[in-house]
Amino acid sequence: MNADFTADDLAFQAEVKDFLEKEFPSAYRKKIDARQRLTKEEIVDWQKILFRKGWVAPNWPKEYGGTGWSPTQKYIFSTEMGLVGAPEPVPFGMTMVAPVIMAYGTEEQKERFLPDILESNVWWCQGYSEPNSGSDLASLKTSAVRDGDHYVVNGSKTWNTYGQHADWIFCLVRTDNTVKKQEGISFLLIDMKSPGITLKPIVLLDGHPEVNEVFFDEVRVPVENLIGEENKGWTYAKVLLTHERTNIAGVPRGKRRLGSLKRQAAETDDGFGGTMADNPNFKRKLAEAEIELLALEYSELRTLAALTVGKAPGPESSILKIVGTELAQSMDEMLVELAGYGCLPFLPEQYEEGFEGEIFGPGNSASAALTYFNNRKLSIFGGSNEIQRNIISKAVLGL
Amino acid sequence: MDFSQTEEQQMLQESVQQFVRKSYDFDTRNSIVSTEQGYSAEFWKLFAELGWLTVPFSEADGGFGDSAVDLTVMMDEFGKALLVEPYLATVVLGGGLIAALADEKSKGELLPPVMSGDLQLALAASEHSGRYNPLSVETTAQVDGDKIILNGVKTAVLNGINASYLLVTARESGEVSSKDGISVFLVPTDSSGVNIQGFTTIDGRSSSEVQLEAVSVGASARLGQPGKAAEALLMVNEKATVACAAEALGALESMLHKTVEYSKTRKQFGTSIGTFQALQHRMADMFIQCQLARSIVIRAAMKIDSNESTVEKTKAVSAAKSRIGYAIKAVGQEAIQIHGGIAMTEELDVGHLFRRVTALDIMFGDADFHTERYASL
């Protein structure tokens, strides 16, 4: 047993570090450090840099433009990305819809959609959740009724992330009401410019309209946009959900955040002549978070090592999701604690795309509570942490 | 990167599993606990024949290779079986300290009988006022002509009543908790002035309190240079800490397994209690705790076997013991709670596993102690 990288892996790690050092634009790095949002153009620009390097889709098969990396190389890549704060490609196209198109799409669909996803020419968003279908996703009601060579779609989707940027949406729609709920669902690709689609932004607790409600009113979708067979959409979506997701635990990002919390603690007065870095309670929380991060990192490495020797990824990803998100949320609490009064100003606009003025407040303290609020989503989305516990109790414990 | 077990580790694991399956069921274990010496001499000889007693010794010392990962593989299985034989006392602590400190001649005399199962040892290091700090030593060693006189009181001396020798830490110079000035003496347990008061621990092990009243030993009883034993003591302490953490790991996974199985058979309100989501999620959390604990204990063992600095090793050990201490409370208490009243009885093994992990949490420092030590490094 050892956790060492091979010489080849180390050479690869050096290559990745070198690439990020040179190619990840310092302007973006600065914005990310100041917790400002990148604009759509900046995100696309960064993804195109990755594309030109051939590194934008590590999880894609080589024939479609993937890297052909080993699981260890993928891990190194996402670790180095996380350590410098470089954003992973927006997942909706690259890691969510593309694998489904590859597995179940026709040749024509693959040629039509995959190259534009790889090149970041087309922005995708997700149409899964509905106002009355959250964790019980299979109860969804948005309907698609066949009318000649079109489907007519009616209903609404919610928690749609960055639909305001999107060109296309992949949706789960109901095509049969008469069977078991899982067996009447189809997987449909819809052009966001289609007549009858309207978007209503939802402003979240941090003041940012990160998500939308999407309404479909008699939207006509050509039947060639159906993926696979009608009424098999649930099966395809489940494959997507279990599709290997690298970096689900967020260890590199966690390390980066922990480092910044430590630096910040050393710069934050405790009110009695010392700093928060010497505060026994805070020191303890930092130590506990750091220890948890190590346990999480080695859990991820153990999962990865199992993948390397060809074992299938199991429900371990549920552990990584639960622990990774809860740990991230505990760091958000520490952020608020360090900010103190500094977290009280509610000024979300200064973190918005394109904000040019001076940021108010000492350091990033005015963003602390906003981050805390926003990251409450972590334990809710991607299958809530309760759903993950259901998966563990069923798939691992056999309950 | 490779987290799979070597062939030797697999054989070691299977060898312990086979022994437990064949010869060490819960009733057998309990009858061993109730004997005066608190372990089975017959099984101890068998452990020697199976090669288990050589594991934490280097090949140069005639051992299996002194790998912390190998040791954790074995301790993990010992934990599941609630083993009470004095492996930690004689082999890891006693033998480990002799291997680290003694000259070749003494090693040649003492280590072969340890590995052949013919010699029992006990480490008399802990003191009431020192809590979990092995460097806090009030016991004194005073040179008197060609003799050295030992005075002091030692606590939590595992296997004291069975040992032929005590390895006594005593201070020759320096302040109570200073690194310099600590020596280790090999003291025959039948020496005049040695008083050993044996007791059974909450988890069924044989332990003791030791009083040393003007115990006189020769200079040859001192292992290593005068006052220079601290490094070796700390190193052996780290290894024993990881061994305890690994033992707890096995016990916790066993508790999880037993709890899940019990919840599938125990019926209330007309259905098995394992169908209740309120319990399912708690068992899922127990599983998560076990997995995180396993990851960080493996990490600590790998660090000990690596070439990294002493500080990195110490940090890794404290991270592991701190984290498993948390898991011990979480998994242990839930196992009792989900079993309900039956786990409060001595009849069921789950309660005994709970006692074992409670003791393991305390041994070599609990979660709070190690979190603080981690933060201070």
Cβ(A206)–Cβ(A348) under 8 Å? yes
Q: Where in chain A is the domain with CATH 1.20.140.10?
A: 247-396
Same domain, B178 and B283: no
Q: Region A353-357: what's the mean pLDDT?
A: 77
Same domain, B236 and B369: yes
Structural domain of B23: 7-119
B23 belongs to a structural domain: yes
Residue A245, pLDDT > 60, answer no
Those residues with Cβ within 8 angstroms of residue B361's Cβ, 6 or more apart along the chain or in another chain: B248, B324, B325, B328, B329, B367
DSSP state of B199: E
Total Cβ atoms within 10 A of residue B101: 23
Q: What are the tens digits of pLDDT across the range A276-306?
A: 999 999 999 999 999 999 999 999 988 887 7
Question: What is the CATH number that goes with domain A123-230?
Answer: 2.40.110.10
pLDDT at A170 (0 to 100): 97
Residue A383 φ then ψ, to 5°: 85, 105
Q: Specify the 3-state DSSP secondary structure of A218.
A: strand
Same domain, B256 and B334: yes
A-proximal residues of B, 288-307, CB under 8 Å: 288, 291-296, 298-299, 301-302, 306
Cβ separation of A302 and B3 shorter than 8 Å? yes
What distance in Å separates the CA atoms of residue A321 and residue A51, rounded to the nearest whole number? 28
Residue A242, pLDDT > 70, answer no
Please pick, among A23, A42, A244, A297, the residue that the annotation labels catalytic: A244
Burial class (CB in 10 A: 0-12, 13-18, 19+), B272: middle
Same domain, B361 and B252: yes
Q: Specify the 3-state DSSP secondary structure of B225.
A: coil
* Residue B281 in contact with partner chain A when CB distance is under 8 A: yes
Q: Specify the 3-state DSSP secondary structure of A127.
A: strand
Cβ separation of B288 and A319 shorter than 8 Å? yes
Q: Which residue has the higher pLDDT, B2 or A320?
A: A320
Q: Which of B1, B4, B277 sits opposite A3 (nearest CB)?
A: B1
E strands, chain B, where?
A: 121-124, 140-144, 147-154, 165-171, 182-188, 194-200, 206-218, 222-223, 267-268, 271-272
Number of structural domains found in chain B? 3
Same domain, B183 and B146: yes
Q: What are the tens digits of pLDDT across the range A8-38?
A: 999 999 999 999 999 999 999 988 888 888 9
pLDDT at A326 (0 to 100): 97
Bridge partners (DSSP) listed for residue A2: B2
Cβ separation of B280 and A397 shorter than 8 Å? yes
Same domain, B131 and B250: no
Those residues with Cβ within 8 angstroms of residue B328's Cβ, 6 or more apart along the chain or in another chain: B248, B252, B357, B358, B360, B361, B367
Residue A364, pLDDT > 90, answer no
Same domain, B252 and B365: yes
CA distance A24 to chain B (A): 28
**Secondary structure, 3-state, A36-53:** CCCCHHHHHHHHHHHHHH
Same domain, B243 and B343: yes
Cβ(A304)–Cβ(A75) under 8 Å? yes
Segment holding A241, helix H or strand E: helix A233-242
Give the CATH number of the domain where residue B90 resides. 1.10.540.10
Q: Region A244-265: what's the mean pLDDT?
A: 86
pLDDT at B5 (0 to 100): 86
Q: Specify the 3-state DSSP secondary structure of A302.
A: helix
Q: CA of B90: how far to CAs of B85, B150, B330, in Å? A: 9, 22, 31
Those residues with Cβ within 8 angstroms of residue A80's Cβ, 6 or more apart along the chain or in another chain: A13, A16, A17, A20, A252
Same domain, B41 and B147: no
* Residue A295 in contact with partner chain B when CB distance is under 8 A: yes
Same domain, B222 and B245: no
pLDDT band at A90 (very low <50, low <70, confident <90, very high): very high
What distance in Å separates the CA atoms of residue B166 and residue B93, rounded to the nearest whole number? 11
Segment among A58-72, A179-193, B262-276, B342-356 with least mean pLDDT: A58-72
Residue A260, pLDDT > 80, answer yes
CA B357 to chain centre: 11
Shortest CA distance to A299 belongs to which of A277, A322, A331, A276?
Answer: A322
B-proximal residues of A, 316-345, CB under 8 Å: 316, 319, 322-323
B299 belongs to a structural domain: yes
Residue A166, pLDDT > 90, answer yes
pLDDT at A354 (0 to 100): 72
Q: Which of B264, B275, B371 sits opposite A288 (nearest CB)?
A: B371
Residue A203, pLDDT > 80, answer yes
* Residue A346 in contact with partner chain B when CB distance is under 8 A: no
* Residue B284 in contact with partner chain A when CB distance is under 8 A: yes
B2 belongs to a structural domain: no
Q: What is the sign, positive or negative, of the torsion defined by CA atoms of A336, A339, A342, A346?
A: negative
Q: Which residues of B touch A398 (CB under 8 A)?
A: 260, 264
Cβ(B1)–Cβ(A307) under 8 Å? no
pLDDT band at A239 (very low <50, low <70, confident <90, very high): confident
Same domain, B365 and B244: yes
Same domain, B108 and B148: no
* Residue B277 in contact with partner chain A when CB distance is under 8 A: yes
Mean pLDDT by 10 residues, chain B (377 residues): 86 97 97 97 98 98 96 98 98 98 97 98 97 96 97 98 98 95 98 98 97 97 97 97 98 98 97 97 98 97 95 97 98 98 96 98 97 95
Q: Give the mean pLDDT of chain A.
A: 92
Residue A310 φ then ψ, to 5°: 90, 5
B331 belongs to a structural domain: yes
HSE value, Cβ hemisphere, 13 Å, CA-based, for B1: 23
Among residues B119, B143, B174, which one ends one of the domains? B119
Residue A218, pLDDT > 90, answer yes
CA A118 to chain centre: 17
Cβ separation of A298 and B299 shorter than 8 Å? yes
B172 belongs to a structural domain: yes
Helix boundaries (H) for B210-348: 230-265, 277-305, 310-339
* Residue A2 in contact with partner chain B when CB distance is under 8 A: yes
Cβ separation of A294 and B296 shorter than 8 Å? yes
Q: CA of B80: how far to CAs of B13, B60, B142, in Å? A: 12, 31, 44
B320 belongs to a structural domain: yes
Q: Name the token pair of A300.
A: 């991820």
Is A244 among the catalytic positions? yes
B1 belongs to a structural domain: no
Angle (CA) B209-B213-B218 rounded to 5° is: 110
pLDDT band at A310 (very low <50, low <70, confident <90, very high): low
Among residues B119, B140, B169, which one ends one of the domains? B119
Among residues B102, B119, B136, which one ends one of the domains? B119
Question: What is the CATH number that goes with domain A247-396?
Answer: 1.20.140.10
Rounded to the nearest 10 degrees, what angle do helices A40-53 and A7-23 cross at? 140
* Residue A301 in contact with partner chain B when CB distance is under 8 A: yes
